[in-house]
Amino acid sequence: MSALFTQAFLAALIGGAIAAAVPLLFAGLGEQMSEKAGVLNIGIEGMMLLGAYAGFLVAYETNSLLAGFAAGGLAGVLTGAVMALACVWLGLNQIVIGIAITLSIEGLTSLLFNSQFASLYPSLPTPVVLPLPLLSRIPVFGPSLFTQYWLAYLGLLLCGACSWIYRNSFFGLNLTAAGDKPAALDAAGVNVAVTRCAAVLVCGLFAGIGGAYLSEIGSGVFVPFMTNGAGFIGIVLAMLARGRPLGVFMGSLLFGACLSITTALQVAGINVPTDIINMLPFAMVMLALMIFGRRASLPAAFGHTYQRGVR
């Protein structure tokens, strides 16, 4: 039991939790914005997967991780545009379209990867981390908490930025109105469809970047279906956070710890069946839904298409 409290175990657990939490954080923040506007983006899993593939491909061809993140974000935005066109402008069922997007991208990315890299399985070089001055020197926790890739710090800043936007900007107020009372927003002269589309596109951007982080930083390789439900966990995080970006951040760390516990246990010399470890994040999802599911606060017009003059 003492092996679970060694410095090596704690460092592996904390560092792994943060690394695993970053893509969940980006996905959760993007989904939260989409849900605030009243759009359930089930397709976020597919957006992350396409972002992971596009990010890896561009990073591999250009030898630039930054170019890979740009490609991943763009892939997410393009997928978000399909979601916005189908669900916001054409009024199609959000759940059906989201599932169709995810299944289509799973097949597409698997086909493209196998046709391009079936016999190669290339990998990206180890990324350069950014240690924060002084903080990274704190014993035990410093190297794990404050020696991360720069995108992890950006995710934390995005939490603060989203909190400010929701509370203090006209765009944040428009998002809330689009999800709660779209007719009132329309009466105020703001285009509900444009507001919702903007939220879905930002969701796609965040999801694509989160997916690119998985392939470029998290593993350095692309594997078909590598998101492994990360997008769906992001949906749960957004619902349980009750509109608070800080809630998404805390939830991401919790699920990140569940995902990274395999490595930490191996460091501690404890062998646990892989299947049990793979089940842990989803068991945590079900537990969280049972405990906090009734407290989830969703917009009044959540999942409903808005048409002017139709209530």
Q: What is the pLDDT averaged over residues 144-168?
A: 89
Q: Which residues of 147-165 are buried (b: 16+ CB within 10 A; e: fewer)?
A: bbbebbeebeebbeebbeb
Handedness of CA 158, 159, 162, 167 (dihedral sign): negative
| pLDDT tens, residue by residue, 27-66 | 999 999 999 999 999 999 999 999 999 999 999 999 999 9
| Residue pair 18/86 in contact by the 8 Å Cβ criterion | no
| Amino acid 295: pLDDT | 62
| Amino acid 301: pLDDT | 84
d(CA 53, CA 237): 24
Specify the residue for token string 């989160």: 210
| Residue pair 222/89 in contact by the 8 Å Cβ criterion | no
Handedness of CA 243, 247, 249, 254 (dihedral sign): negative
Question: What are the structure tokens assigned to 142, written together?
Answer: 């410093």
| Residue pair 300/52 in contact by the 8 Å Cβ criterion | no
Q: Which residues pair with residue 307 across a beta bridge?
A: 310
Handedness of CA 48, 50, 51, 55 (dihedral sign): positive
Which range scores top for mean pLDDT: 77-91, 109-123, 219-233? 77-91
What is the reported pTM? 0.90
| Amino acid 172: pLDDT | 92
| Amino acid 270: pLDDT | 67
243 burial (CB, 10 Å; 0-12 / 13-18 / 19+) is: buried
- The domains of the chain, with CATH numbers, are 2-116+144-295 (1.10.3470)
φ, ψ of residue 252 to 5 degrees: the values are: -60, -40
End-to-end CA distance of the chain: 60
Mean pLDDT of the chain: 86
pLDDT band per the 50, 70, 90 thresholds, residue 267? low
d(CA 94, CA 237): 19
Least confident of 47-61, 197-211, 296-310: 296-310
Three-state SS for the chain is CHHHHCHHHHHHHHHHHHHHHHHHHHHHHHHHHHHHCCCCCCCHHHHHHHHHHHHHHHHHHHCCHHHHHHHHHHHHHHHHHHHHHHHHHCCCCHHHHHHHHHHHHHHHHHHHHHHHHCCCCCCCCCCCCEECCCHHHCCCHHHHHCEECHHHHHHHHHHHHHHHHHHHCHHHHHHHHHHHCHHHHHHCCCCHHHHHHHHHHHHHHHHHHHHHHHHHHHHCCCCCCCCCCHHHHHHHHHHHCCCCHHHHHHHHHHHHHHHHHHHHHHHCCCCCCHHHHHHHHHHHHHHHHHHHHHHCCCCCCCCCCCECCEC
> What is the Cα Rg of the chain in Å?
20
